[in-house]
């Protein structure tokens, strides 16, 4: 029979050294909260029903961050140390024998492969516990490993409690352990809080096991980076950089061209298809998926969005929680603010803002427009400067524009409103009433032309100036030599 493996992740602490009002494990690296990285790793070792997260500080927020994975939670109402946090999970894990792998929620670079090796090594060893250790150039802040040459562990001493000689030890405790569960639960309460911090240190269990004559082993990891514990924002920035570099390598090896990759930000959950081009300073964030052969322009920000194949996002365009089907185009300088959907071949151009707008196949709004709460069918042309007036100061209202309609430049569409199939809206119109299919709607003042008015005005002003001493050089430079052309209508 296979050994039962439970994983316990300690994530109840505040993280004082972060100097933050937010719980440490909620801080993000590689575009994901620290705790989410650790839960993801744990889930490669055990199913969600066997992964328990100890929460306490900002318990609800931490729970929310990972609840969707279906893991279990235990509450540590007061945070009195890592040993105390394990005690808080006793109820949740009662009766579970087998192995208990304990991890800390501030260790985002750990790989599942390492956990599997830990379990393998432990199982053959006959030890009560196996601890992952590593040797650091600068071990400051970590618990130090007191072990013999064969890797038999005697004790872990925390920095605060260590003697100067112990502090000189460079082999440190990673905070990742594999325990024989029954032995851990049997002796856990022997951990006291008689130390400078007055905390219940989980690390004290090692000396306790030794006192009872159990063997404890170390598993010394060469790759120290994996066990980097995030305690301050310098370490957070370091973890972020490592995670992003790893993501970039993954994306490049998967067939994506990234120009000046050191300037590009790609979050860990992002997926990108082959032959897509990502230009400098682009940011691709959150749960975004991008198809093949797309272009993400310089400085564009794409977040939580789904892009099909051959989609083009021009430079400095923001796409948030939106869907762009195959061949759709947005930007440069467009803002797809929230929940938009561009069907295949639809296009929005510069200085167009969309909010909850849907554009049907091959519909276009190429310049200077705001389209909000708008449902636009296929092959519609939205002229430059078109505005949907979707908000009356109290409620939002929808605009529907049917297939093949042509909305002239600078139209003001006062919602709720429907513009019929194949109809025209004259440029500069304020449209407040429904427009029937195939109609032309005009809602603007009729143009008036007064022949010769400008010339007469200049002559009148000239005569008046002459009376008070003649016009200055600046006056004559400011006005055209001949009468202006009659303005054309839009
Ligand atoms: C801990 C270890 C240290 C090790 C280092 C590795 C102890 C006593 N020390 O120190 O030996 O070298 O990790 O990174 O275990 N937590 C709770 N409840 C609490 C206190 C902490 O859930 O009451 C959680 C925190 O949220 C955090 C984790 O436990 O995710 C570790 O706590 P932290 O304060 O970061 O311990 P370190 O000082 O780093
Ligand atoms: Mg830590």
Q: Which of 340-349, 402-411, 468-477 has the weakest average pLDDT?
A: 468-477
Other beta carbons less than 10 A from residue 483's beta carbon: 13
Whole-number pLDDT of residue 151: 79
**pLDDT tens digits, 286-298:** 999 999 999 999 9
Residue 432, pLDDT > 50, answer: yes
Whole-number pLDDT of residue 490: 37
Q: Is residue 241 part of a domain?
A: no
Residues 211 and 348 in one domain: no
Q: Compute CA distances 117 → 181, 193, 219, whole Å.
A: 18, 32, 9
173 Cα nearest atom in ligand 1: 12
Mean pLDDT computed over every residue of the chain: 94
Question: Burial level of 310, CB count in 10 A (0-12/13-18/19+)?
Answer: buried
For residues 122-130, average pLDDT: 95
For residues 343-356, average pLDDT: 98
For residues 101-121, average pLDDT: 97
Residue 484, pLDDT > 50, answer: no
Q: Is residue 126 part of a domain?
A: yes
For residues 76-91, average pLDDT: 97
* Among candidate residues 441, 463, 485, the one where a domain is terminated: 441
To the query of whether residue 367 is one of the catalytic residues in this protein, the response is: yes
Contact criterion met (CB below 8 Å) for 375 and 388: no
Question: Which of the ligands is closest to the CA of residue 13?
Answer: 1
Residue 405, pLDDT > 50, answer: yes
- Residues 175, 180, 183, 187: what is their CA dihedral angle, to the nearest 10 degrees? 10
Q: Among 175, 201, 225, which residue has the most ligand 1 atoms within 8 Å of its CB, making it the best to mutate?
A: 175
Closest CA to 30 of 228, 280, 245: 245
For residues 413-419, average pLDDT: 98
- Residues 11, 15, 18, 21: what is their CA dihedral angle, to the nearest 10 degrees? 90
Ligand 2 centre and the CA of 57: distance in Å? Answer: 15
Q: Report the residue count for the chain.
A: 490
Q: Is residue 237 part of a domain?
A: no
**Closest protein CA for atom 19 of ligand 1:** 81
Residue 147, pLDDT > 60, answer: yes
Residue 488, pLDDT > 80, answer: no
Q: Compute CA distances 103 → 41, 82, 292, 359, whole Å.
A: 10, 10, 38, 48
Rounded to whole angstroms, the Cα distance separating 388 from 413 reads: 5
Domain that holds residue 45: 5-227
DSSP state, 461? Answer: H
* DSSP code per residue over 384-424: TT-EEE-B-SS-B--EEE-TT-EEPTT-EEESSEEE-TT-E
Whole-number pLDDT of residue 483: 46
Rounded to whole angstroms, the Cα distance separating 159 from 165 reads: 11
Reported confidence tier of residue 309, pLDDT bands at 50, 70, 90: very high
Question: Burial level of 297, CB count in 10 A (0-12/13-18/19+)?
Answer: buried
Q: Is residue 73 part of a domain?
A: yes
Residues 223 and 278 in one domain: no
Contact criterion met (CB below 8 Å) for 336 and 322: yes
Helix (H/G/I), strand (E/B), else coil: 394: coil
Residues 107 and 254 in one domain: no
Ligand 2 centre and the CA of 157: distance in Å? Answer: 15
Q: Compute CA distances 90 → 31, 180, 186, 214, whole Å.
A: 32, 14, 11, 21
Q: How many domains does the chain have?
A: 2
Rounded to whole angstroms, the Cα distance separating 271 from 425 reads: 41
**pTM for this model (two decimals):** 0.88
Residues 317 and 383 in one domain: yes
Q: Is residue 470 part of a domain?
A: no
Residue 196, pLDDT > 90, answer: no
Residue 477, pLDDT > 70, answer: no
Residue 318, pLDDT > 70, answer: yes
Whole-number pLDDT of residue 96: 84
Residues 141 and 274 in one domain: no
Q: Is residue 476 part of a domain?
A: no
Ligand 2 centre and the CA of 96: distance in Å? Answer: 27
* Among candidate residues 400, 415, 441, the one where a domain is terminated: 441
Residues 121 and 153 in one domain: yes
Residues 360 and 429 in one domain: yes
**pLDDT tens digits, 219-271:** 999 999 999 999 999 999 999 999 999 999 999 999 999 999 999 999 999 99
Protein residues with CB under 6 Å of any ligand 1 atom: 10-13, 25, 54, 56, 76, 79-82, 84-85, 104-106, 142-143, 156, 158, 172-175, 201-203, 229, 231
Write the CATH number for 158: 3.90.550.10
Residues 41 and 75 in one domain: yes
Whole-number pLDDT of residue 472: 52
Q: Is residue 145 part of a domain?
A: yes
Reported confidence tier of residue 1, pLDDT bands at 50, 70, 90: low
Reported confidence tier of residue 470, pLDDT bands at 50, 70, 90: low
Whole-number pLDDT of residue 486: 46
Residues 148 and 185 in one domain: yes
Q: Spot the catalytic one: 27, 212, 367, 397.
A: 367
Write the CATH number for 268: 2.160.10.10
Residues 283 and 188 in one domain: no
Reported confidence tier of residue 385, pLDDT bands at 50, 70, 90: very high
Whole-number pLDDT of residue 118: 98
**pLDDT tens digits, 35-82:** 999 999 999 999 999 999 999 999 999 999 999 999 999 999 999 999
Residues 57 and 12 in one domain: yes
CA atoms within 13 A on the CB side of 375: 9
Rounded to whole angstroms, the Cα distance separating 425 from 412 reads: 10
Per DSSP bridges, beta strands 312-313 and 440-441 are unpaired
Q: Is residue 342 part of a domain?
A: yes
Residues 167 and 55 in one domain: yes
Reported confidence tier of residue 301, pLDDT bands at 50, 70, 90: very high
Q: Would you call the peptide bond into 416 cis, given omega within 30 degrees of 0 as the criterion?
A: yes
Ligand 1 centre and the CA of 421: distance in Å? Answer: 65
């Amino acid at each position: 029979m296979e050994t039962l493996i439970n994983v316990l992740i300690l994530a109840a602490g505040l993280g004082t050294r972060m100097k933050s009002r937010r719980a440490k494990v909620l801080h993000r690296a590689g575009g994901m909260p620290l705790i989410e990285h650790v839960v993801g790793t744990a889930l490669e070792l055990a199913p969600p029903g066997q992964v328990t997260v100890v929460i306490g500080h900002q318990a609800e927020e931490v729970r929310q961050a990972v609840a969707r994975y279906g893991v279990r939670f235990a509450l540590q109402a007061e945070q009195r140390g890592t040993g105390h946090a394990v005690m808080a999970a006793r109820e949740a894990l009662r009766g579970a024998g087998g192995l208990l792998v304990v991890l800390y929620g501030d260790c985002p670079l750990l790989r599942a492969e390492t956990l599997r090796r830990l379990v393998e090594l432990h199982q053959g060893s006959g030890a009560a516990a196996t601890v992952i250790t590593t040797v650091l150039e600068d071990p400051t802040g970590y618990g130090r490993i007191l072990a013999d040459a064969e890797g038999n562990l005697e004790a872990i001493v925390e920095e605060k409690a260590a003697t100067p000689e112990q502090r000189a030890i460079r082999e440190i405790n990673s905070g990742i352990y594999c325990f024989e569960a029954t032995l851990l639960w049997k002796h856990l309460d022997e951990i006291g809080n008689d130390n400078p911090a007055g905390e219940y240190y989980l690390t004290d269990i090692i000396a306790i096991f030794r006192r009872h004559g159990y063997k404890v082993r170390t598993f010394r990891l060469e790759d120290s980076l994996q066990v980097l514990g995030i305690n301050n924002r310098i370490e957070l920035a370091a973890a972020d950089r490592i995670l992003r570099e790893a993501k970039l390598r993954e994306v490049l090896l998967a067939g994506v061209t990234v120009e000046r990759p050191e300037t590009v930000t790609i979050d860990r959950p992002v997926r990108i298809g082959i032959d897509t081009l990502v230009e400098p300073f682009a940011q691709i964030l959150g749960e975004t998926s991008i198809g093949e052969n797309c272009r993400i322009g310089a400085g564009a920000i794409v977040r939580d969005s789904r892009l099909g194949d051959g989609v083009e996002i021009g430079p400095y365009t923001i796409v948030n929680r939106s869907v762009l089907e195959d061949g759709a185009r947005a930007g440069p300088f467009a803002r797809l603010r929230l929940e938009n959907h561009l069907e295949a071949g639809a296009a929005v151009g510069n200085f167009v803002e969309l909010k909850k707008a849907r554009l049907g196949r091959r519909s276009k709004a190429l310049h200077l427009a705001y389209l909000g709460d708008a449902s636009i069918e296929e092959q519609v042309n939205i002229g430059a400067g078109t505005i949907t007036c979707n908000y009356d100061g109290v409620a939002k209202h929808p605009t529907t524009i049917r297939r093949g309609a042509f909305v002239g430049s600078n139209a003001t569409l006062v919602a709720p409103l429907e513009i019929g199939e194949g109809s025209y809206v004259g440029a500069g119109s304020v449209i407040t009433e429904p427009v029937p299919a195939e109609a032309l709607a005009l809602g603007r003042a009729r143009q008036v032309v007064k022949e010769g008015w400008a010339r007469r005005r200049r002559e009148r002003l000239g005569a008046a100036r002459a009376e008070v001493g003649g016009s200055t050089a600046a006056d004559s430079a400011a006005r055209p030599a001949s009468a202006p052309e009659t303005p054309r209508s839009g």
